[in-house]
Chains A and B, each alone.
Chain A
Amino acid sequence: MRSWIRDTMLVWGMAICGLVGLLGCEADIDPFEASDRYYSLFGFLDTGVDTQFVRVMPLRDSIVLGNVERIDARVTLEDRQRGTTIELKDSLFTFEQGRLAFNYWTDEPISPGTQYRLRVERSDGAQTQADITMPQQDPTLRLVVPTGFGNPRTMVQGIDIEGAEQIVDLQLRYVLRFPGQPAGATQAITFSYLDKVQPLIDGWGVGFNAYDDLMARFPGRCPIVISASVFVATGGADFPDLQSFDAESLARPDVLTNVENGVGYVGGIASILEPWPDLTAFLPQRQSFCALFGR
């Protein structure tokens, strides 16, 4: 009996020692999936601005931001029609809480209706690229403000846009001040009217009540409009219909991207930022209405 126990213990001991030796004592893990995606690219080429900025960042292996003061990337922009290539310059931007990001820029003009290729190369040859198609033409705006006196809540303003294949963004931007605050204490406010844009026979149009929208945002505070301007960005025919995606889907790396061997989206737009003095003049007249009636 005793020898039986001894033999059994011996077998068990040998088996365990063998297993331990075989399996080792470390459990290494590489949690990251091997990927041929190298850079994250975001931004727009815009025919309506003088300088183009595009965000270029290497994919990180941690949510921790770390030190990204250096980047191993050469960024070029190729005009696919003309066959010319320019190199973008890097610029390190600092954001809130000391967060850093690289934006590459160029002041070379961007031509409507042109196809570009943005290419990012690492020193070891790894490449990420995005193909961008620019809208055929720059948009033109017609801004409509009703004249005369009356209840401002019944008076609708309008913006008509011509020369646009798709509307990518439509914003009304105000600089405001509130009664009782010093003259220099202004506040920049943006209203988006993209979801109200309707197709017209000769373009696109949107109607809205700027006074009502302002009062709804700041009930009872009767803001004083210092200035108003309209920002419109248009895209080409192949610009994606962003409103058909929910926020969760837009965050998926594979759902909306034109970047090869990387993630992100670089769009081609034609933007216009136009002051709207008539609206600026119209709304302060109604400030007294608000003060009188409370809204």
Chain B
Amino acid sequence: MMRGQDGGRVSRCSLLLHKAKSFGKDVQASWWREWAWLVVGLCGLTSMPLFAQSTTVTLRGFVADASDGQPIQGVNVVLEQGNALPRGAATNRDGFYQIAAIPAGTYALRMSFIGYEAYTDTLVLGADPFVTLSIELTPAAEMLDEVVIAVEAGAARTRAGLQTLRPQDLARIPTPDATGDLATYLQSLPSVVAIGDRGGQLFVRGGTPSQNMVLVDGFLIYQPFHIIGFFSAFPQDLVSHVDMYAGGFGARYSGRISSVIDVTMREGNKQFFEGSASLSPFLANVTVEGPLRKGEVSLLASMRHSTIERVAPTLIDNDLPFRFSDLFIKMQQTDRFNNRCGLTVVNTYDRGRIAPDEVDRRDIFRWSNLVVGGRCLAVPSASPFLVEVNTGLSHVNNEVGSPDAPERSSSSLELATNLNLTRLYQDAELRIGLAVRMNWLRFELQEQFQNAETNDGAILSLSGFVEPEFRLSEAFRISTGVSLSLHPLRYPASIEPRIRMAWRPGGEQGPQEFSAALGLYRQTLAGITDERDAGSAFIAWVAAPVRDTQAQAIHALLGWQRQLAPWLYIGAEGYYKRLSDLPIPIWSTIARFTTTLDLAKGNVYGFDTRIEVQQGGFYGYVGYGYSETEYIAQQDNFGLWYGETLQRYHPPHDRRHQLNAVLSFDIKGVTANLRWQYGSGLPFTRPFGFDELLSLQPVADVRRTYGTTRVLYDRPYEGRLPEYHRLDFSVDRTFTLKQGTLTAQAGVINIYDRNNLFYFDLFTVRRVDQLPFIPNVSIKYATR
């Protein structure tokens, strides 16, 4: 029966190939041919291995927390049979596990995870080729003292650019609110540069914010970081799991060339209703969750709104004209066939003046995001695949200027559907996927970029990936993959091969690991920004704005991590990124807001080193990052201006040294967190004065003409702003009350009140500083 089903699938693939050949006669439709070949290839890959399945069994299922229905990642699932070597797997972020190629027989099953009572059972396998077994683990009264397969999470544990973050990691960074936030945490990593504490712009290893792919439950969100740099759409209370790739990401992520921040939000409680409310000088938050159908359907809803705009004049005797809010809703269903479907809605809004005492009070930045997406995970009873289907839309709107008449605006709407299949073999895993995306873009830039002023249009893109991962031995894993992207009739097909590998001498329990990654990345949708203006948070989303050329990057990473003691990890990672065809603004002297876009090349290299200590209630982390980013631009005019047509310069986010130290300790229920940050100065262009330019042709009469004011620059970005450092502190304690818990937190931002420069406005000779000393107190009440 299985062979028959499979044969039918091959026939459909042949039909597609035939259609492709017909279309191939038409040059305009050459993308159909490439697309069809991809489909045929995928069909072949998914079909052939099925023939070998009849004599073995695949055990799979989901593991969740019995108290609230949340999936548990990292559960150790082991099958034992006599003296034979045990077979095992760990659950992924969806709580899914799969053990393939099990010979028929009787097995002892054990599922265990720290903090839960272990589940044991005896299974007789062999009657069915696919056995689905989903389990709920009961939280233990006391922590279990057993060896588990640890989730590879922690600040010092990186694998070829990948760092896995957990909610408890976010809590360790002092934040002026009762809960931590992903935005604050990311800024404590040596690979992430924030040029200031406002604007919501994060640069990862030389990449720009628009080159980061941020995903929420699998759906793209364009600008999720709030205008105050402590906050994002991802507060600790809502986050379940984050995979942060500072580079070298696999083939399943396509469309960005710098980094991936893949956030999985947690699900609502499936057993009972609960809620929380918190208030701090910066924001207020209300969260409710509970079962819509007990044990099956849950709802989680959270709404946050900033308060700092009203509080700041009283708190620090100064204006902080920032307003932001976000709304998060997640509905999750698990049916009796173990299919899991979820609906995620995220809406954010930000508004503010980057320079609080801006002379021109109309210079207001605003952006908003809307993400609506549905995601289903299914384990078909007669299929070896875990099937994931995502459909959603993502919209961003970005404006600067007065509220009623914005000077510049940009919006992008993406509608995307993708199908991902995952199949596990005895020593291998195959991931394949297909996606269709439609982007509608609109931008009105006035005079900012002379060759990209006003436009709207749509881009259709079709993409697919194949990503097999092999475990060649106990010590060595390698994941190869290729991503294919097609943009019919507009851009050439993009084939992006990628490879990731990890070698752990001594096997999976070995104390150290070496990892490496190499890959090619392309990006069609560019976020262009006026990098000459550090105070600008405006990003215009446009499709390959210069000569229809897609930006490209090659990543190469080499990393090492070692557990020196049960409580001590160290790690180091070096990287190189070769960039090409980046759309950048060319420096202009005539006017502040007018420039031309051109293409540049770039080189980024550097290394991170990290030390992490965790012992009992004590946690310490020190991370140092060295990075050098260089852009190389060529223009005929450069020869006239600087004597050479090729210009090399360090863009304004080129932070050479970054040091972060985090200290957290928990004594008798009181948790204290301390974070110190240091960053070396960022590049800026030094002027040597201002004057009025008078026309030579026509001949200007100096008695009648005042002239055009100009800034007299030397070569761009040759100066460096002062270094930056800041110390933040928070202390909190949770009190258990009759109906719930009350958490009180007190903290201070910028303890020693350093005047950290955000940017210097050359045109008004004014410095705009980052946040001063701000004491804060927050409370949070949660029902239980």
Contacts and interface: CB of A to CB of B under 8 A. Distances in A.
Contacts of B663: 9, 12
A19 B706 contact: no
A62 B688 contact: no
Interface stretch (B52-60, B77-85, B245-253, B697-705): B697-705
Interface in A4-26: 4-5, 8-9, 12, 16, 19-20, 23, 25-26
A289 interface: no
Contact of B727 (A20, A192, A245): A20
B702 A42 contact: yes
Given A20-B752, A96-B706, A169-B699, A255 B688 contact: no
A224 interface: no
Contacts of A60: 689-691
**Which of B699, B762, B765 has the largest count of A CB atoms less than 10 A from its CB?**
B699
9 contacts: A5-B665, A12-B674, A16-B661, A31-B760, A55-B692, A55-B707, A242-B696, A242-B697, A252-B641
B709 interface: yes
B699 A99 contact: no
A43 interface: yes
Interface stretch (B368-376, B502-510, B710-718, B737-745): B710-718
Contacts of B753: 25
B546 interface: no
A207 B360 CA distance: 49
B696 A267 contact: yes
A263 B703 contact: no
B337 to A, nearest CB: 50
B702 A54 contact: yes
A90 to B, nearest CB: 13
Nearest to A51: B703
A31 B665 contact: no
- Interface bin, chain B: 35 or more
Contacts of A25: 752-755
Contacts of B763: 62-63
Nearest to B705: A95
Interface residues of A, number: 68
B707 A61 contact: no
A101 B710 CA distance: 15
A169 B676 CA distance: 63
B460 interface: no
A233 interface: yes
B721 A29 contact: yes
Contact of A44 (B699, B724, B725, B765): B699
B724 A27 contact: yes
A64 interface: yes
Contact of B767 (A1, A29, A57): A29
A71 interface: no
Contacts, number: 181
Contacts of B708: 251
Given A31-B686, A54-B702, A252 B691 contact: no
Contacts of B725: 19, 23
Contact of A248 (B589, B699, B719, B757): B589
Interface string B12-50: 000000000000000000000000000000000000000
A273 B556 CA distance: 69
A133 interface: no
A84 interface: no
A115 interface: no
Contacts of B723: 23, 27
A93 interface: yes
Given A37-B689, A95-B706, 4 more contacts: A27-B723, A31-B760, A40-B689, A245-B640
Nearest to A255: B640
Given A16-B676, A20-B752, A33-B719, A243 B697 contact: yes
Given A35-B689, A251-B589, A252-B641, A61 B757 contact: no
- B700, B712, B721: which has the most chain A beta carbons within 10 Å? B712
